[in-house]
Amino acid sequence: MSRSTINLLIVFYFLFGVGIGWFWKTTHPHGLDEYHKWYYNHSDETWENTRFLGVIADKFPLDMWVYQEIITETKPDVLIEAGTFRGEVPSTLPQYLTYCNTGAC
């Protein structure tokens, strides 16, 4: 595949993505906001009931997943967490590091 073909594909995918985003925003203007409101207002079913290894995690589960992805890709020696609420994230991060240090990731 030539470089110009690749560039055209990139432009096409970009424009297609922008078009899909515009279409979604115009047809579902409050969809994401409504989901956030539901997630927050149903705390007993969502963020107050999310646990990792038995520890309450006040993080959105996707955030924890992203942390895990970053840690397994970068394999850091040290992690520094600042601004914790109840200390749930620092209790999960060592689990990820231990997993990576055993050669599993």
Q: What is the pLDDT of residues 57-83, one digit of tens each?
A: 777 777 778 888 888 888 888 777 776
Q: What is the pLDDT of residues 1-48, one digit of tens each?
A: 777 787 777 777 777 777 776 776 777 667 667 877 888 898 888 877
Of 55, 45, 60, nearest to 90 by C-alpha is 55
Domain extent listing, the chain: 1-41, 49-105
CB atoms within 10 A of CB 93: 17
CB atoms within 10 A of CB 89: 20
